[in-house]
Structure 1
Amino acid sequence: MSVTDDQDGVPGSTNRAPKPAERRRARVMALQALYQRHMAKAAVSQIEAEFRVDNDMSNVDLPYFQDLLRGVDRHQNELDQVLQPYLDRPIHEVDPIELCILRLGAYELKHRIDVPYKVVLNETIELAKRFGGTEGHKYVNGILDKLSQRIRIVEARAGR
């Protein structure tokens, strides 16, 4: 069995645990796909198919990419409601890329409890530094840090 194929012959899937770099690339790809979805208003299935065709996904944790993309899309209203109390403006006024990062981070905090909250915070801050505005990472950090104190209260208290 090769590193890129499992028993079903699906590229990028294996029986081994994903490497952190593969998860990081999955987040980057998911963010870009979510941004495209936000801007183009296309179906998530169409965007996922385009990303799989147009991008080299060989070093991406593909199941994680799919979970993030589909999960954020499926739970968008719930995520927006969870985020809104921590925002300093209506959600529709948040910069689109930062909104996508916030939704991604909120999804991981709420639905991917297998990922430590500090990893979620660090990864979303890095995404905001790379793709957001000059001070966007501070905004993202402030919101998701407060949200993590509510969603992951036990974990956050133990980690401080």
Structure 2
Amino acid sequence: MNRRTAREKAFQALFQINNGDIEADLAIQHVVDEPVHDAFLNQLVHGVTDNQQQLDEWIAGHLVNWSFNRLPKVEKTALRMAAYEMKFNEDVPSQVAINEAVELAKTFGEEESGKFVNGVLSKMMK
């Protein structure tokens, strides 16, 4: 599985985790077509869930006129994934993490989701 597909599957798994009481491994199983072990997919899902409080605090510190709890779920999920990659994954340049998060927000969110995610993550990169 390429990294773009792994990010999309990780996004879907994290969205399930955030919307219900489901374990990370079960959420991953729900979003892949067949039993597959993708290290990058697992790293993203478990990395975000294991570091969620720290990521949420970092994101919240860069929001303007928004409280973290009011963020739509799509944007929150995309921001968490990108923040995790920016902070903990040295193999991925921050700009790549931002671009991928913007694309996920555009795909799964509202019309302005990509712009919002880009704005927050750009502030976080500085």
Q: Same fold (TM over 0.5)?
A: yes
Task: For residue 118 of structure 1, report the CA deviation from its aligned partner.
Answer: 1.3
Quick check: 2:10–2:45 contact (8 Å CA) kept in 1?
yes
**Residue 50 of structure 2 corresponds to residue 74 of structure 1:** yes
Give the letter aligned to residue 63 of structure 1: A
Equivalent position of 2:62 in the other structure: 86
**What do the CA deviations read for 1:68-105 (whole angstroms, capped 9, x no partner)?**
00000000000001000112322111000110000000
Task: For residue 57 of structure 1, report the CA deviation from its aligned partner.
Answer: 7.0
Equivalent position of 1:27 in the other structure: 7
1:63 counterpart (29, 39, 56): 39
Unaligned runs of 5+ in 1: 1-11, 13-21, 150-160
**Residue 107 of structure 2 corresponds to residue 107 of structure 1:** no
Task: For residue 28 of structure 1, report the CA deviation from its aligned partner.
Answer: 0.2
Give the letter aligned to residue 143 of structure 1: V
State the identity as a percent: 34
TM-score normalised over the length of structure 2: 0.91
Q: How many aligned residue pairs are there? A: 125
Give the letter aligned to residue 28 of structure 1: E
Unaligned runs of 5+ in 2: none
Considering only aligned residues, what root-mean-square deviation do their CA atoms show, in Å?
1.7
TM-score normalised over the length of structure 1: 0.73
Q: Aligned equivalents of 1:139 and 1:101: distance in 2?
A: 11
Equivalent position of 2:30 in the other structure: 50
Give the letter aligned to residue 6 of structure 2: A
Equivalent position of 1:127 in the other structure: 104
Task: For residue 64 of structure 1, report the CA deviation from its aligned partner.
Answer: 0.4
Q: Aligned equivalents of 2:10 and 2:40: distance in 1?
A: 9
Give the letter aligned to residue 73 of structure 1: T
Equivalent position of 2:93 in the other structure: 116
Give the letter aligned to residue 72 of structure 1: V
Larger radius of gyration: 1
**What do the CA deviations read for 1:99-144 (whole angstroms, capped 9, x no partner)?**
0000000000001121111111111111111111110111100000
Q: Aligned equivalents of 1:126 and 1:86: distance in 2?
A: 20
> Does the residue aligned with 1:89 lie in a helix, a strand or coil?
coil
